[in-house]
Every structure is written in C-alpha cells, then in structure tokens.
C-alpha cells in the first residue's frame, strides 16, 4: 500500500471542492478522496501500489429538476475550474504511479 496525498489546483489556484479518484485500468482497483477547501486531498487508508489514471470531478448534489414529474436526480455542480477533460477516464491526462510508503501527487489543471 501507498499513502497518497497532494493538492488539486486550476492554473495554480486551489480547487476548493470536488473529488479525486484514482482508477487502476489493469487491475480494476480504485481509491479516492474529497478535495478540501485549500485544495488538499488525502486518500484515507492509502491505495494499492500500481499505475493509475486520475479523474477529478465536481461535487454532486441531488436536484429536483422537474418537480412533481420525475424523482430528484444527481447533478454535478457547475465548476469551470474543473475542465471537462479531467472528469472522465477516457480523456484525463493525469497518470501516476503509487509506490509503497508516502506518495505526493499534485494536479494542476489547465483550461
């Protein structure tokens, strides 16, 4: 296992909320953490050693988009500081290796 922590920024400024998810495409494992108000994240319990794709997503809220006609649905918060390409496994450019012991992985997103 590796302990994983770091910061998430957009053009050098902290992203204040959202989630960081590490996806292991070869072994199928995942690990994740919430982004704190200062941009920091820490994966509680660590992550299995290996190669990961990293996706960063905005928080999701339950919204009643069509009151009385359909049940409330999860909707991503509008956050331009998390560009669309970083939100999906197929388009993210973030790839990291988790090694045994402490790991610091910082992610600075660009428009």
CATH number assigned to the domain comprising residue 73: 2.60.40
Nearest 5°: the CA angle 108, 111, 38 is 40
Is-contact 73 65, C-beta < 8 A? yes
* Whole-number pLDDT of residue 63: 85
Nearest C-alpha neighbor of 57 from the set 26, 35, 42: 35
Give the structural domain span for 41. Answer: 2-105
Is this structure's pTM higher than 0.75?
yes
Mean pLDDT over residues 89-106, rounded? Answer: 97
* Whole-number pLDDT of residue 44: 96
Percent over 90 (pLDDT), the chain: 81
Q: What does the pLDDT look like over 42-96, one tens digit per residue?
A: 999 999 999 999 999 999 988 887 888 888 888 889 999 999 999 999 999 999 9
Is 111 inside any structural domain?
no
Look over the chain and give the mean of its residue pLDDT values, rounded to a whole number. 95
Is 49 inside any structural domain?
yes
Is 91 inside any structural domain?
yes
CA 93 from centroid of its chain's CA atoms: 13
CA dihedral 108, 76, 87, 17 (to 10 degrees): 30
Least confident piece of the model among 5-9, 26-30, 51-55, 65-69:
65-69
- Say how far apart CA 85 and CA 76 lie, in whole Å: 15
């Amino acid at each position: 296992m590796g302990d994983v922590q770091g910061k998430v920024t957009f053009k050098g400024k902290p992203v204040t909320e959202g989630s960081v998810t590490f996806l292991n495409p070869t072994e199928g494992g995942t690990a994740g953490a919430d982004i704190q108000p200062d941009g920091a994240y820490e994966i509680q319990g660590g992550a299995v050693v290996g190669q990961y794709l990293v996706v960063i997503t905005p928080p999701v809220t339950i919204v009643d988009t069509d009151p009385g006609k359909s049940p409330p649905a999860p909707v991503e918060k509008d956050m331009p500081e998390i560009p669309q390409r970083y939100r999906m496994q197929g388009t993210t450019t973030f790839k990291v290796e988790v090694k045994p012991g402490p790991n610091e992985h910082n992610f600075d997103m660009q428009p």
